Amino acid sequence: MSEEFPQTLLDTLRRAQRITVLTGAGISAESGLPTFRDKLTGLWAHYRPEDLSTPDAFRRDPRLVWEWFATHRAAMTAAAPNPAHHALVRMEAVVPQFTLLTQNIDGLHQRADNRRVVELHGNIARTKCFVEDLPVDTWDETGDVPPRCPRCGGLLRPDVVWFGELLPEQALATASAAAKQCDVFFSIGTSGIVEPAASLAYRALSRGATVVLINLDVVNDASRQLYKINAPAGQVLPALVEAAWPTAAAL
Ligand code: BV8
């Protein structure tokens, strides 16, 4: 199995003390969840993000935005972690300092049992008050769509980061530090368009880390510091973890 991967990459992974992983919607594709920008299947092939994932969109049409996210909450809740998610659990178990950064809001890394997960864009399973910007766990189902905050009567919204909104301060600080201080940075299943998450891989590269891009729209390449692997994450990650850390495969 390990003949698939450059020996330099396997040696680098085995030596690595600190590995940071950034994931995007592509890692959940093999769990049956659509990504954002893939042609046709992408969620945003039919909608524009600015019509759905911004505070102004919510102010314009709160019902549309609430119902769009409710649809995706149902799909994400029904989805299960796939072999790519499970491979990252095994990687976390064998790497001394492992940090998993995700742009995804589906909670699949936590359901796969990764421990150190940093959610950069929030989590669709959580709800907050649009007015107070504070969490709301339960509310009366009065038929209002969106439902209303039990404290102030304001509209409820998903606890995700919309375009034009700041990322959670602590999450972004942790992500920046984890990108700067790692020996290896994986970028898995992300188109690398959305900032500030998209800059993390470059920050790692500029600090001398080895960067591994796993995606379907890269051309395979292996240079001293940058590896590009064009393959479905659900196939390549289990094989790479097994090749680099044979003991991890048994976990
Ligand atoms: C902010 C939650 C400060 C809601 C999302 C420069 C600096 C700072 C900001 C900006 C900047 N330039 C522009 C901005 C503004 C904006 C931005 O980045 N716009 C983009 C469109 C240019 N950023 C922001 O607004 C951020 N806030 O910076 O605050 C600020 C404030 C005011 C004004 C300016 C700045 C907030 C961004 C967060 C937005 N929220 N999601 C929701 O889910 O609806 S973003 C959304 O995109 C998701 O979180 C998603 O995760 C994320 C990134 O998409 P990807 O995950 O990469 O998914 P995509 O479909 O694009 O790609 C999937 C990839 O997987 C593909 O490459 C595909 O080939 C691959 N793939 C598919 N299948 C597989 C696979 N790979 C492997 N295996 C497979 N099986």
Atom of ligand 1 nearest to the CA of 198: 18
Model pLDDT, residue 1: 44
Average pLDDT over residues 176-197: 97
Terminal CA-to-CA distance of the chain, rounded, Å? 18
User: Coil, helix or strand for 17?
Assistant: coil
> Quick check: 64 pLDDT over 80?
yes
What pLDDT does 44 receive?
Answer: 64
Which among 22, 23, 35, 102 is the best mutation to test ligand 1's pocket, defined by most ligand atoms within 8 Å of the CB? 35
Ligand 1 atom 20 nearest Cα? 194
How do residues 218-228 score in pLDDT, each as one tens digit?
A: 999 999 899 99
- Please check the confidence at residue 193 and state whether its pLDDT lies above 90: yes
Instruction: Tell me the percentage of the chain whose pLDDT exceeds 90.
Output: 88
Which residue intervals of the chain are DSSP H helices?
A: 7-15, 49-52, 55-60, 62-78, 83-94, 108-112, 169-180, 200-206, 233-244, 246-249
Ligand 1 centroid to Cα of residue 205, in Å, is 20
Residue 121 a catalytic site member: yes
In the predicted model, is pLDDT for residue 216 greater than 50?
Answer: yes
Nearest-CA residue for atom 4 of ligand 1: 162
pLDDT averaged over every residue in the chain: 94
Asked whether the predicted pLDDT for residue 185 surpasses 80, the reply is yes
Q: What is the SS3 assignment for 183?
A: coil
H or E element, residue 127: strand 122-129
249 vs 98 pLDDT, higher one: 98
What are the structure tokens assigned to 30, written together? Answer: 């093999």
Q: Are 162 and 55 in contact (CB under 8 A)?
A: yes
CA of 199 to the centre of ligand 1 (A): 11
Q: Residue 251's pLDDT is what?
A: 60
From CA 157, how far away is CA 165, in angstroms rounded? 14
Q: Which residues pair with 222 in a beta bridge?
A: 227
Please state whether beta strands 122-129 and 156-160 pair in parallel, antiparallel, or not at all (unpaired): antiparallel
* Over residues 191-214, mean pLDDT: 97
Give nearest CA residue, ligand 1 atom 35: 164
Residue owning the nearest CA to atom 73 of ligand 1:
26
